[in-house]
Every structure is written in structure tokens, then in C-alpha cells.
DNA sequence: ATTATCTATAGATCTATAGATAATGC
DNA sequence: ATTATCTATAGATCTATAGATAATGC
């Protein structure tokens, strides 16, 4: 515990990565320490050497880590394209499409209720700060610059997150679904221009109706 | 089993209602037979008289029932407003806002992996037929009538479902969130007109920027 | 005789701990 | 001596079954 604090701990990192992957794919309750151990090729009890505080703490740690990564990547993506809102929204969508799914709504539905109140509150706070806040700020600033119609930034941020979360569902569930990046682009243009045909149709629409 | 098939079975209905409520609020794995029994004021083992095929079959039954109810209500809502797309979309949104949440994405994330393959496929089929199909058809027909820009109806249906699912999340999670019906309206106008300011701004936007 | 409950419990998991064991570095 | 694993297992759940018990209707 003393020297390992500073040293890069290879085994522990592998454990966290594996747990993160499994948890975010199947949920806290559905994943057992047994399964994580099997994936790593060790015995279940051996995990507790690296994670002495147990399964719930492990979940909180990897989820927090994942959300922090999203905050950083999301902010970098938004900042990388300058102050135009349409570009920022597209950059945010590309970021989500490039990342492994988070199933935010699934977590709230199934994982949070299984955690202690303290951990639920903590994770909700992290989710707010890392995912909701950066996006709401983007909408709020665009609104103040007059680039978008004045709608409640919180509602827009929640809608955007729900849509990004939904891309996961569609692409895992549907047979022969389009790539996630293309779905992200289509959703961005939907959010920008809406469904109603415009007089000045400048061809921003992708994803035209094919068959079915 | 012989006479009870036709007779309305009061206790069994109460059991199904309670199970449906709990399952769709917390998920298949998180809800125990113990909890369902406690809610009903009976002992856990007594449930098996009404549901001899066990917990998983109970989940499949109540989820199927719930999806069928959605199909009926959704179709009735859409049909009740005639052929105008904007009205149909608003009616569908009102339907979802009026119903207890389904957490469709949460189910796919957490519940499906815990079921047998057979039951997963069955429920996916029911979800497709009851939720996805009616909405995709609405978009497809509006598209053919030229009322909306030509975008892939499946993508639009998935996006709409994700947004309706997301309303749940926002209204359960956010402090002092607006009522679900108002969020539904705002999302409909967002989908119709998009975020970009229009020259001919006919004031369809609700939910104007307030504070924060 | 049928219906609907109950008590008791087997059997299956799952988390987490205790203590042994092997390998590595001083 | 420290690090990282292992075996073994206690203790807590959870599902589902077996068989007893009470109430109702013929």
C-alpha cells in the first residue's frame, strides 16, 4: 500500500479495465466477482487483494473513472472546433460515437438502486458534473450567442444525452444497423434543422430514406 | 387451473400488477420474489401457487402485457388525431408522458442479459412490434406524404423512443423538474423545428430559457 | 374436493475473510 | 519482508419445491 501508491500497478489496472468493461455492458448486479476473475484468469478471492473494499467500491471507482474520461474527452472535443454551435454539437456527437457505450439510463434504472445511498448520490454528482454540465453549458452559451432558439439548456442536454445513449441501443440491437458515427451525424442534423421541410433546404440532411 | 382459466383471478392480477410495477422500476435482478410477496402481504413461497413457472416467466409475462398495453394506447393516440404528422407526434408524446415509465433502454442493458436466450428474443420481438413498429410507421407515412424531410424512419423511431425514455430519467432525477407532459411538448417542437433559428419564427417554441 | 395460503428447507449463488503458499527483492 | 496469488469456507441471499393447514363450496 505504501510503495504501490506511486508505482504503476499493472495488475490492478487490468482488473479495473475488465471490471469497467463488464459493469458497463451488463450492469452492477449482473456481473459477479467470479466473472471478472475468470476474465482475468485468476481466482475470485484474489481480486480482493487489489480491491479490498469490495465489489460496490470497485463499481464506484471504475464508473467515476469512466465519467471523468468522458468529461475530459467531451470538453476537448467541444473546444477543438471553436465557437460555432453546429460544429460543437457535431464534435460532441462524434465523441460519444467513438466511445464504448455508457448506458447512462440503464445505470440509473438498474445499478443505482443496488448501491448505498451515499454512493448513489456520489455517482449522480459525478454524472452531472462530467456528462450533463459540459453539454448544458454548450447549449447555454449557444443560446446566449443567439445561435439557437431559446430553449431550456437542461432539457436540451438531457435530450442530447438520451439520444447518444440510444445510439448504443440501436446499434447493438438492430440487425444491419448503420455505424454509430453516421447515426450521430443524422441526429445532429435532426436537432439542428428539425423534421419539417424548410423553404431554404440547403441539403444538410443525411441519411435519406432508402428501403423499408 | 381448469376453472381459473376463464374466471377472473383477483389475487393473480394483483400479483402481476405488483410485479410489473417493481420490475419496471428496479429491474429483473434487483427485485426479489421476497419483495413482491412483502408488497402483497403474503409469504414468498405463496407466489408460486399463482406463478408456478417462476420468476423469469413472471417477468416475461408482465413485460409482454405492459408492451401490449403500450401498443394499443399508442396506436389509439395516433389514430385519434387524424392524418397530420405534427399532431400525431404530439399525441404519441402525450401517451408516453401519461404512462408509467418503461425504461426500455434500462431493460436492454440490465434485464435481457439475465434472461434465457429464448426469452430475450421473445421480448425483443414484442418490444419491436409494440413500441418500435407503430412509431416507425408513423414516421414512414409522414415521410411518404411529404410532411417531413426524408430521413430513415427507423432512426427517427429509435430517437423518439430514446427521448421518451429519457424524460423518465430527467423527471425522476432532476430536482424541481418540469412535468413530463411539458417536456414531451418541448421535445416535439424540438423535433419538428430544430434548434436553428428560422426566419419565419411562428412562436411554436415553448420552454424558453429562464434562469441558471 | 378445491383453492389459497403457510412453514420448512434443499440447493444454488455470491460476497468477503482467513490463512497457506509461492515468488521476488533485499 | 513484500507482493500476489491460492484454497477453503463462513455467512448471506434467493429461487423453488414439498408437504401441512385452513377455508370454502358441493
Contact A152, B198 (CB under 8 A): no
Q: Which of A135, A159, A29 is nearest to A85 (CA)?
A: A135
Estimate in Å the CA A11 to C1' C26 gap, whole number: 23
pLDDT at A212: 36
Choose the mutation target among A174, A190, A195, A198 for the interface with B, i.e. most B CBs under 10 Å. A195
Q: What's the rounded mean pLDDT across residues B93-101?
A: 94
pLDDT band at B105 (very low <50, low <70, confident <90, very high): confident
Q: How far apart are CA A126 and CA A102, in angstroms?
A: 14
Q: Do B150 and A210 touch (CB under 8 A)?
A: no
Residue A115: phi and psi, rounded to 5, are -95, 165
For residues B157-176, give the mean pLDDT. Answer: 82
Q: Helix (H, G, I), strand (E, B), or coil: what is residue A211? A: coil
Q: Residue A199: its pLDDT value, please?
A: 60
**pTM score of the predicted model:** 0.88
Q: How high is the pLDDT of residue A176?
A: 67
Taking the Cβ of residue B138 and every Cβ of chain A, the question of whether any pair is shorter than 8 Å is answered with no
pLDDT for res A211: 38
What single DSSP character describes residue A151?
A: -
Predicted local confidence at residue A173, as pLDDT: 62
What is the length of chain B? 212
| A46 pLDDT more than 60 | yes
Mutating which of A109, A146, A172 best tests the B interface, going by the most B Cβ atoms within 10 A?
A109
Residue from the list B162, B186, B192 with its beta carbon closest to the beta carbon of A163: B162
Q: Which of A143, A153, A135, A154 is nearest to A67 (CA)?
A: A135
How far apart CA A206 and CA A200 sit, in angstroms, is: 16
- Tell me which DSSP letter residue B112 carries: G
Question: What is the pLDDT, as a whole number, of residue A87?
Answer: 97
Residue B211 pLDDT greater than 70, yes or no: no
**A136: nearest CA partner in chain B:** B212
| Average pLDDT of the residues in A80-102 | 95
- pLDDT surpassing 70 at residue A118: yes
Q: Comparing B130 with B199, which gets the higher pLDDT?
A: B130
CA dihedral A142, A145, A150, A155 (to 10 degrees): 20
Whether the beta carbon of A151 falls within 7 A of nucleic chain D: the reply is no
User: Which carries the bigger pLDDT value, residue B57 or residue A150?
Assistant: B57
Q: How confident is the model at residue B168 (pLDDT cuts 50, 70, 90)?
A: confident
* Nucleic strand C near CB of residue B2 (< 7 Å): yes
Is strand D less than 7 A from the beta carbon of B13? Answer: no
Tell whether A195 lies on the interface with B, counting CB pairs under 8 A.
yes
- pLDDT at residue A74 greater than cutoff 70: yes
Q: Is the pLDDT of residue B174 over 80?
A: no
| CB-CB under 8 Å, B152 with A29 | no
What pLDDT sits at residue B3? 37
Q: Residue A5: its pLDDT value, please? A: 40
B202 confidence band (pLDDT: 50, 70, 90): very low
Strand C contacted by A55 CB (< 7 A):
yes
pLDDT at A10: 86
Check if residue B42 sits with its Cβ under 7 angstroms from strand D: no
pLDDT of A66 higher than 70: yes
Amino acid at each position: 500500500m505504501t510503495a504501490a501508491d506511486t508505482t504503476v500497478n499493472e495488475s490492478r489496472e487490468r482488473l479495473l479495465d475488465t471490471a469497467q468493461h463488464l459493469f458497463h455492458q451488463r450492469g452492477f448486479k449482473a456481473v459477479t466477482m467470479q466473472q471478472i476473475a475468470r476474465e482475468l484468469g485468476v481466482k475470485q478471492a484474489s481480486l480482493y487483494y487489489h480491491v479490498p473494499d469490495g465489489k460496490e467500491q470497485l463499481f464506484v471507482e471504475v464508473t467515476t473513472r469512466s465519467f471523468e474520461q468522458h468529461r475530459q474527452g467531451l470538453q476537448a472535443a467541444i473546444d477543438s472546433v471553436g465557437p460555432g454551435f453546429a460544429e460543437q454539437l457535431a464534435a460532441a456527437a462524434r465523441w460519444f460515437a467513438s466511445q464504448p457505450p455508457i448506458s447512462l439510463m440503464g445505470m440509473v434504472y438498474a445499478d443505482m438502486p443496488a448501491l448505498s445511498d451515499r454512493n448513489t448520490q456520489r455517482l449522480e454528482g459525478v454524472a452531472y458534473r462530467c456528462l450533463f454540465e459540459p453539454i448544458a453549458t454548450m447549449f447555454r452559451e449557444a443560446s446566449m450567442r443567439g445561435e439557437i432558439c431559446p430553449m431550456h439548456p437542461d432539457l436540451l442536454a438531457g435530450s442530447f444525452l438520451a439520444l447518444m445513449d440510444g445510439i448504443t441501443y440501436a446499434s447493438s440491437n438492430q440487425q444491419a444497423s448503420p455505424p454509430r458515427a453516421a447515426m450521430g451525424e443524422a441526429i445532429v442534423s435532426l436537432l439542428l434543422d428539425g423534421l419539417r421541410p424548410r423553404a431554404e433546404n440547403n441539403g444538410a440532411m443525411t441519411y435519406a430514406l432508402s428501403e423499408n
